[in-house]
Amino acid sequence: MQGNSSAGFIDVAETFRNQLGRTTGGASLAVYHRGELVVDLWGGLRTDDGDPWLADTLAMCFSTSKGVASAALHLQADAGLVDYDAPVATYWPEFAQNGKENLTVRHVLSHSAGLHRLRSIIDSAHHMLDWDHMVDALARERPAYEPGTKTGYHAVTYGWLVGEIVHRVTGRSLAQVVTDDLAAPLGLDGLFLGCPPEERHRVAPLVPMKSTRSVLPSAAYRAEKVVATQLAKGLSLVRSPINPRRVINALLPRGMEDVLAGPEIMDASVPSMNGFFTARSLGALYATLAGGGTLGDVRLLSPETVEKVGEEQNNRPDLVLIVPMKWRLGYHRVMTSRGGAPKGFGHFGLGGSGAWADPSRELAIAMVCNRGGGTPVGDLRLMQLGAAAIASADRVTATAAS
């Protein structure tokens, strides 16, 4: 492990050190408290050849990318270009078809738009690399339920929905808005959607996804597929909240493994899953949210907009993730291994990366890595680090007040 940690946050550093010792690959961690970078650490291996993780190493962060995409849309709301309660079709006229005429920006940001299905609207994951194809497919799609009446994690579709709204009101791509309007004002060198060719030498390669087909003989794979299909049908009939077919539809279009393993994923903009970040840059963005829209001398958002962003939108069981996520506007609740941050919000991702902000503590944390598993919204590592960061921040605050 390399880097620095202030004295009050040594427990966070020790938690991170222990995690590096128990996992392969590498990671970086950043914690901001009251606008100051109090933990800036990295360690482990960047490649299978033994190259070390460096201070500027980038990692592809899957669903963590949604939090950055959301921030780009909030910039437009803060500038008066987008109204959260306006129909999406106000900005994207082609969207007003198949029952989506009154579907609002708020529905999209709170994952209650009913547009979580992906596998059933594209026949190959390679279409994900074509922005126009994806936004056209979503414009034609009919919601799975009346928008606003249920909640289902828009695991991959979210990025194009948010991104096309930003594109329509700015005339620029979402990736360009992230670069120009989020990263540049804050002076960040590690906040990208897709990865520019000149930055690719910094990327820590991911372990390729292994499909069921790749680890099972063909006969066993066919049997597994039949059983899973029948199980899903049975669960649907009895109205079980757990439906494997729904999860697969939202997360795994056919050929996803090939797309993730191919070089084209760096060239495209898939805003729900191909953000390339350093922990320091990702943490700075969330520190801005934790600071009421300001970090240092830079103001990105008004305090009023940040307050709206953090308001809980729903607490229903999620149709895709099963558990209630307490969705905010583009973010979910903060999950830690103990304690909590009821005023906090953020976004975690498959593989373990994630970040969150707690304006009540002026605290933000971000972790990126290139090895891990867990759920579509992360694993225990960030939960453990978050708990240590909360405890440390509370001790520092109490000490300063005494």
The pLDDT score that the predictor gives to residue 81 is 98
pLDDT tens digits, one per residue of 305-357? 999 999 999 999 999 998 899 999 999 999 888 778 999 999 999 889 999 99
Q: Is residue 82 part of a domain?
A: no
Q: How many domains does the chain have?
A: 1
The pLDDT score that the predictor gives to residue 210 is 44
Q: Which residues contact 216 (CB under 8 A, 6 or more apart)?
A: 224
Q: Is residue 343 part of a domain?
A: no
Band of the pLDDT at 383, cuts 50, 70, 90?
A: very high
Taking the C-alpha atoms of residue 64 and residue 377, their distance in angstroms, rounded to an integer, is 8
Does residue 230 carry a pLDDT above 50?
no
Does residue 231 carry a pLDDT above 50?
no
Band of the pLDDT at 24, cuts 50, 70, 90?
A: confident
Q: Cβ–Cβ contacts within 10 Å for residue 114, how many?
A: 24
SS3 368: strand
The pLDDT score that the predictor gives to residue 248 is 84
> Which residue range forms the structural domain that includes residue 241?
212-249
Which element (helix H / strand E) includes 396?
helix 380-401
Listed in sequence order, the DSSP H helices in 23-130 are 65-78, 105-109
Q: Is residue 241 part of a domain?
A: yes
Q: Is residue 234 part of a domain?
A: yes
Mean predicted lDDT score pLDDT of the chain: 90
Note if the pTM is more than 0.75: yes
The pLDDT score that the predictor gives to residue 241 is 54
- Determine the average pLDDT of the residues in 239-253: 73
Q: Is residue 30 part of a domain?
A: no
Which comes out higher in pLDDT, residue 22 or 202?
202
Q: Is residue 239 part of a domain?
A: yes
- Tell me the two tokens of residue 350: 């498959």
- Which among 279, 330, 334, 325 is positioned nearest to 306, based on CA atoms? 330
Taking the C-alpha atoms of residue 289 and residue 303, their distance in angstroms, rounded to an integer, is 9
236 a catalytic residue: no
Residue ranges with strand state E in 143-240: 191-193
Does residue 109 carry a pLDDT above 60?
yes
Taking the C-alpha atoms of residue 177 and residue 365, their distance in angstroms, rounded to an integer, is 23
Cα 223–chain centre separation: 34
> Which of the residues 5, 28, 63, 281 is marked catalytic?
63
**How buried is residue 127: exposed, middle or buried, by Cβ count under 10 Å (0-12/13-18/19+)?**
middle
Q: Which residues contact 124 (CB under 8 A, 6 or more apart)?
A: 253, 254, 255
SS3 84: coil
Q: Is residue 143 part of a domain?
A: no
pLDDT tens digits, one per residue of 269-319? 999 999 999 999 999 999 999 999 999 999 999 999 999 999 999 999 999
Query: 362 in the Ramachandran plot: left (φ > 0), alpha (ψ -120 to 50) or beta?
Result: left
Q: Is residue 240 part of a domain?
A: yes
The C-alpha torsion from 183 through 392 and 373 to 133, rounded to 10°, is: -30
Starting at the edge strand found earlier in the chain, the sheet holding 59-60 runs 59-60, 275-277, 191-193
Residue 60: HSE in the Cβ half-sphere, 13 Å Cα cutoff: 24
